[in-house]
């Protein structure tokens, strides 16, 4: 029986070997002691799905990332040990069986992950295991940013930028040949019992809780190599980077008009700190380049902004009990929510976005703006929490802090307060795709509609609909609300909600049914909202 002691690095989000301070610390700790071996682990926790929603596409991305992580660890003369079970049950076992003395891991801010870690820390103490926690998922440590602001949450993006613009960012750590383990530090082969059970092998896709029939095209494969390759390809487009402004990219381009690095950063396949330094080096070679919040660096800082806010609020992903969030009496309608989530609203631009999301696991950030506004304050008046849950399940890059922060922003519940600036589900898409090619791809039943009708197919006569081989209400759904009417009503509701929140009035909030099945509507009262102070951050433009 092997009597050597074990150092563990516990992979969570940081599924990479580059710029991974916890992994490097574990390797260096092993190399200092002849009687120590390294075992990098990943825990497939069956209770994880109680706190986090995962589509088939996301499970595939994770599985591919684990396979690539194992391949990269083998270049360091070790491997990935995948443990099935809950940390609270499995940690005491492996602490004892492997004679563990040290475990390193990456810190996380989510309340459910912190509860998990609290139990693990108790078990570590009981087994005399030292724990070493490292900050490595964001460019800045959000807790230190909060401390520099007297533990107050910066509620504006520009306020956050002023807090961090002079903070130094440590260089990204490199993995080199010196980190390769000698034989004396390599863990022994699995015992016969372990080998027979294959209890630490990588998971096959068939083992994971997904329906493989729901898998879409594998446009963005998971893994560290994929993330690094995509970053280097993007960094080679220097002029594009210098001139990049997110509002000038197309939310409905057939191929992405942005980097699509976000899934790799979310899963930790790509270090946000490495990307920060690489991007800064490219920008340093230009005499003139775009600035935050619309620049590429500005996009990375949005992630830091939301992480800082989320680190201060355990209920960041909820409305009730969330000190940051306005309490708005949203309505709940299962029919409206289901139609939105499955691309059946009757608005082709909105439906195409939601269908792309369900098929591919990614949509442009401005497309997210459009559908989030439509679900909440713009058209359906359904709580942002429900939209957040759909995005959490379907988006490859759904990050707890960013997902909640963006939904609060787009619903005008926090950070952004110009609730009367609403995206049009017709005009916004026409700006960048006047011929409707995006709609033709993701709503193919409308492919024969001419460009002047494809965004508003309900305007086609019955004869035209038959000629275009798509009858509205039969082959494609009727629109579930009339945007031109309901948006004004919802502005009034938002105005009243703001007044109640600010203590100006206490009347109850009316909650009319806005689901419609045919093109006959009762009138809506038009409300002119009180003008709010201008918000100079990246707010939606008024394209009603």
Model pLDDT for residues 503-523, shown as the tens digit of each residue: 753 333 333 333 333 333 322
11 and 55 inside one domain? yes
How confident is the model over 62-82, as pLDDT tens digits? Answer: 999 999 999 999 999 999 999
How confident is the model over 379-397, as pLDDT tens digits? Answer: 999 999 999 999 999 999 9
Residue 429's pLDDT is what?
A: 97
Is residue 28, in this structure, part of any structural domain at all?
Answer: yes
406 and 466 inside one domain? yes
Q: Three-state SS across 404-453? A: HHHHHHHCCCCCCCCCCCCCCCCHHHHHHCCCCHHHHHHCHHHCCCCHHH
Domain range enclosing 143: 138-169+223-312
Is residue 34, in this structure, part of any structural domain at all?
Answer: yes
Distance CA 505, CA 479 (A): 34
User: Residue 248 belongs to a domain with what CATH number?
Assistant: 1.25.40.80
Q: Which pTM value belongs to this model? A: 0.92
pLDDT tier for residue 532 given thresholds of 50, 70 and 90: very low
For range 6-26, the mean pLDDT: 98
Q: Which residues contact 492 (CB under 8 A, 6 or more apart)?
A: 525, 526, 527, 529
307 and 344 inside one domain? no
Q: Which residues contact 298 (CB under 8 A, 6 or more apart)?
A: 246, 290, 291, 292, 538
Q: Please, are residues 373 and 406 in contact by the beta-carbon 8 Å criterion?
A: no
236 and 288 inside one domain? yes
Of 501, 517, 537, the residue at which a domain comes to its end is 501
47 and 93 inside one domain? yes
pLDDT score of 185 more than 50: yes
378 and 279 inside one domain? no
> Which single residue is written with the structure tokens 């594009």?
240
Residue 2's pLDDT is what?
A: 67
Is residue 513, in this structure, part of any structural domain at all?
Answer: no
How confident is the model over 241-286, as pLDDT tens digits? Answer: 999 999 999 999 999 999 999 999 999 999 999 999 999 999 999 9
Distance CA 46, CA 53 (A): 12
In what side-by-side order are the strands of the sheet with 130-134?
81-84, 36-44, 5-11, 100-106, 130-134
For range 285-309, the mean pLDDT: 97
Residue 523's pLDDT is what?
A: 28
Is residue 185, in this structure, part of any structural domain at all?
Answer: no
User: Residue 341 belongs to a domain with what CATH number?
Assistant: 1.10.579.10
Of 486, 501, 516, the residue at which a domain comes to its end is 501
292 and 363 inside one domain? no
Residue 188's pLDDT is what?
A: 85
Distance CA 300, CA 244 (A): 13
Burial group, residue 207, by CB count within 10 angstroms (0-12, 13-18, 19+): middle
Q: Which of the residue ranges 65-74, 345-354, 406-415, 533-542 would you say has the lowest mean pLDDT?
A: 533-542
How confident is the model over 26-70, as pLDDT tens digits? Answer: 999 999 998 999 999 999 998 887 788 999 999 999 999 999 999
Is residue 359, in this structure, part of any structural domain at all?
Answer: yes
Q: Please, are residues 18 and 172 in contact by the beta-carbon 8 Å criterion?
A: yes
Percent of all residues in the chain with a pLDDT value above 70, rounded to a whole number: 90
Distance CA 74, CA 52 (A): 30
For range 147-174, the mean pLDDT: 96
Residue 194's pLDDT is what?
A: 53
> Which single residue is written with the structure tokens 């099945």?
517
242 and 383 inside one domain? no
What's the total number of domains in the chain?
3
Name the phi and psi angles at 335, rounded to 5. Answer: -65, -45
What are the contacts of 435-441 at 24+ separation with CB within 8 A? 436/348, 437/254, 438/252, 438/253, 438/254, 438/349, 438/352, 439/252, 439/348, 439/349, 439/352, 441/254, 441/352
228 and 251 inside one domain? yes
β-pairing verdict for 130-134 and 100-106:
parallel
How confident is the model over 196-238, as pLDDT tens digits? Answer: 445 799 999 999 999 999 999 999 999 999 999 999 999 999 9
Degrees, nearest 5: CA angle 392-395-400: 40
> Which single residue is written with the structure tokens 């109680």?
50
Of 485, 501, 517, the residue at which a domain comes to its end is 501
149 and 284 inside one domain? yes
Average pLDDT, the chain: 91
Is residue 235, in this structure, part of any structural domain at all?
Answer: yes
Distance CA 156, CA 535 (A): 9
117 and 145 inside one domain? no
22 and 65 inside one domain? yes
What are the contacts of 386-389 at 24+ separation with CB within 8 A? 386/332, 386/337, 387/340, 387/411, 388/317, 389/53
Distance CA 220, CA 227 (A): 9
Is residue 540, in this structure, part of any structural domain at all?
Answer: no
Q: Which residues contact 124 (CB under 8 A, 6 or more apart)?
A: 91, 95, 103, 130, 131
User: Residue 69 belongs to a domain with what CATH number?
Assistant: 3.40.50.620
> Which single residue is written with the structure tokens 């260096």?
28
Percent of all residues in the chain with a pLDDT value above 90, rounded to a whole number: 87
Question: Which element (helix H / strand E) includes 336?
Answer: helix 334-341
Q: Quote the crossing angle between the two packed helices 224-235 and 56-74, to the nearest 10°.
A: 90
Residue 192's pLDDT is what?
A: 55
Is residue 541, in this structure, part of any structural domain at all?
Answer: no
For range 164-176, the mean pLDDT: 96
């Amino acid at each position: 029986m092997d009597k050597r002691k074990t150092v563990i690095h516990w992979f969570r989000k940081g599924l990479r070997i580059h710029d991974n301070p916890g992994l490097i610390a574990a390797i260096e700790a092993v190399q200092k002691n002849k009687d120590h071996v390294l075992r990098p682990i990943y825990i497939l926790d069956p209770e994880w799905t109680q706190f986090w929603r995962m589509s088939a596409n996301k499970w595939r991305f994770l599985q591919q990332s684990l396979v690539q992580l194992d391949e990269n660890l083998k270049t360091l003369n070790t491997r990935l040990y995948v443990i099935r079970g809950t940390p609270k049950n499995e940690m005491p076992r492996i602490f004892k069986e492997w004679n563990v003395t040290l475990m390193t891991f990456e810190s996380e801010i989510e309340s459910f992950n912190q509860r998990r870690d609290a139990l693990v820390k108790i078990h570590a103490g009981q087994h005399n295991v030292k724990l070493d926690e490292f900050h490595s998922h964001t460019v800045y440590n959000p807790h230190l940013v909060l401390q520099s602001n007297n533990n107050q949450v910066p509620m504006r993006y520009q306020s956050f930028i002023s807090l961090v613009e002079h903070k130094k960012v440590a260089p990204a750590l490199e993995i080199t040949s010196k980190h390769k383990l000698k034989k004396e530090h390599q863990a022994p082969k699995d015992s016969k019992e372990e080998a027979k059970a294959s209890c630490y092998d990588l998971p096959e896709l068939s083992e994971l809780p997904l329906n493989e029939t729901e898998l879409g095209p594998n446009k963005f494969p998971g893994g560290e190599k994929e993330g690094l390759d995509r970053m280097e390809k993007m960094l080679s487009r220097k002029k594009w980077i210098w001139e990049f402004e997110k509002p000038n990219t197309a939310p409905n381009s057939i191929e992405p008009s942005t980097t699509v690095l976000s899934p790799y950063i979310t899963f930790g396949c790509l270090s946000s700190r490495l990307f920060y330094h690489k991007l800064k080096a490219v920008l340093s070679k230009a005499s003139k380049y775009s600035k935050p919040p619309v620049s590429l660096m500005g996009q990375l800082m949005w992630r830091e902004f939301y992480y800082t806010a989320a680190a201060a609020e355990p209920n960041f992903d909820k409305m009730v009990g969330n000190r940051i969030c306005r309490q708005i009496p949203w309505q709940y309608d299962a029919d409206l929510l289901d139609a939105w989530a499955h691309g059946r609203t009757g608005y082709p631009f909105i439906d195409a976005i939601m269908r792309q999301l369900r098929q591919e696991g990614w949509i442009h950030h401005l497309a997210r703006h459009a559908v989030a506004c439509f679900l909440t304050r713009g058209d359906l008046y359904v709580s942002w929490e429900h939209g957040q849950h759909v995005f959490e399940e379907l988006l490859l890059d759904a990050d707890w802090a960013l997902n909640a922060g963006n939904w609060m922003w787009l619903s005008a519940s926090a950070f952004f307060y110009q609730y009367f600036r609403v995206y049009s589900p017709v005009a916004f898409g026409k700006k960048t795709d006047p011929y409707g090619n995006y709609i033709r791809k993701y709503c193919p039943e409308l492919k024969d509609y001419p460009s002047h009708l494809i965004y508003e197919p309900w305007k086609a006569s019955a004869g035209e609909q038959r000629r275009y081989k798509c009858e509205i209400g039969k082959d494609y759904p009727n629109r579930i609300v009339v945007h031109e009417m309901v948006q004004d009503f919802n502005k009034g509701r938002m105005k009243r909600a703001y007044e109640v929140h600010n203590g100006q009035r206490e009347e109850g909030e009316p909650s009319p049914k806005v689901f419609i099945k045919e093109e006959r509507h009762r009138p809506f009262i038009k409300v002119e909202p009180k003008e709010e102070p201008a918000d100079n951050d990246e707010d939606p433009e008024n394209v009603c």
